[in-house]
Structure 1
Amino acid sequence: MLSPPKTKNKYLKRSTLLIREVTCVINETNVSNFLLLGLTEDPALQPLIFSLFLSMYLVTILGNLLIILAVSSDHHLHTPMYFFLSNLSLADICLSTSTIPKMLVNIQAQQHSITYAGCLSQACFVLDFAGLENCLLAAMAYDRYVAICHPLRYTVIMNASLCGLLLVFSLVISLVNALLLSLTVLRLTFCTDLEIPHFFCELAQVIRLACSDTLVNNLLIYVAAVLFGGIPLFGIIFSYIQIVSSVLKIPSVRGRYKAFSTCGSHLCVVSLFYGTGLGVYISSTAVASMMYSVVPPMLNPFIYSLRNRDMKEVWGKIFCRTTFLR
């Protein structure tokens, strides 16, 4: 017995909807580009933003390269603290390079697109170098703890093997964390609205654009924040609790000041890093992301140069040497 015309139309509509759904899934999976909206879409402000970020990038590169040059050229700075500082400067250079050049190219070309692979790669690099900086700050806090709380055993504890092991461990942990969070994005499908309201591909913003279930990705982000972010922060806090406890036992005021002065630069960098990072989680705006990814790498060389007597002496030697050669 033949089906009524209404039944045929019903099956035809279902088939059409099924074809549309399959086509939609194929289109969602084959994502080609994301759009980075940047700080503003006002064309009149683009030259100003270009000049500002170019200047900040050049200052970041130059300042951190000078830190690396100073540490490598003076044997008096071949100590664990400056070993970690030079690696921190290198991480700052890489962090800035992973975001700012692409933004400058987009402004110059007057386009906002970034490829799917490029977006995930950028998110991975940002996570990697930010995580490396996080671990290095914890290693530097441990170095200050040993120097102040166990000064007689400092050279024995903070030997070259331990410093190298801490650096390798920091590199591996930050890389594993970045790859884990970035590669899990590959399981997501994306809809047509692929606009990221930042000047670089921040992982949390990319995940928000997915139209599939993101529970696993969000859960991994929270777990990684607790493990890879919380543990180094706890180590820094614990180290400084022990440092303050030991310094308060020093009878002379001058001795206390001298002990605290060795930690001043590190405390400023830690406050800047975690303060701006907290601002990103409280307010996930483009300005907050800029403060987190651009400002600390630029200011870190100034903090260590202006507040550190050893660095000032090395800068003076390099300046005098350069002037004499001229």
Structure 2
Amino acid sequence: MASYTATINIPDISPAPAGRIGPNLIFNPRGQIFQKGPAMPAPAAIGGYQCDYWGHRGYGSKVFVEQRPVPLGDPLAQRYVMRMTWASVAGPSNYSLIACDIDDVRNYAGSKCTLSLRIRADQNRNICLEHNQHFGEGGASPEWTGAPITIPVTTEFQDIHIPIDDWPSVAGKILGSSETDTDRIGIVLFCEAGSNFNARTNNLGQSSGWIEIARMELREDVNNEIVTMADPWSVYDEEAEFLRCQSLLEVFDKTEVLWSGYVESGKYRWIGLPFKVTKRRYPVITLSNITAVGFGAVTCPLTTKTGLQIAGLGNATINSGYFQANVIVDANHPYTP
């Protein structure tokens, strides 16, 4: 992975008065955790969760997300930055974005908060912030989306503080009952978007490029005062951050799951496989390299948020047999705006 020599232009920031800063709700604020690897294997139209808890997606356009090391002695004084590169493909419905979902739609409801970014771009350009409330599957619909906020980004790292003061109350709203598509608020950064998104992106338009995010924070404005960031940026240690990320998103790759024993024609034999953690959405289950002796088919007839059941349908009569398969359980769902 290539590194770089950064320039940094961070204005003086006075620490906020004690007791007036709410906790930072952004997980992995420095991009130090890339549980699925430090880069996507290739630019993709549909992204997913790359630097855990951050979703990225290119619809039509191509996106590439990577973790870039910061050289020792660099003014950023941290280990990594997150870079998102996008190759815009012209089209009214196409876009490229990066987003962060935060569990619990009650966050900031009827209140104010400040989004703080340490960010730079390949050239002076605008990106657009969208923020929303999602009440979960079966909950209040449609989700609420706030007014778009244009963010000017330069080629030097700068601290940018964006007040968000229009979060509505959630009183009287209905929460969904899904255990996986849960209620949450969303912070979305549109990097480019076609004309169908003009109203949501302040006519952002389409162009190719990249942004690098060194830090990101979201804090409540206590006592209705605009928050200015204090140092440090409420950074969790890496182990704690990893555990927080892992609690939501995980790729579980289990090879050669094996059942062996007697086989009876027309009868199922099965093996259970538990998941280690609870996902926000049902994972995608993939079986490959299936080998079956005495069985006509091997399938996943039962999948839940905590485990799956792999079954084989016997075609032999009281005979010794087995089945095995490689199994991938992947919660890497693309973000859909």
TM-score normalised according to structure 1 size: 0.30
Which has the bigger relative contact order, CA under 8 A and spacing at least 6?
1
Name which one, 1 or 2, has greater alpha-carbon Rg: 1
More helix by share: 1
More strand by share: 2
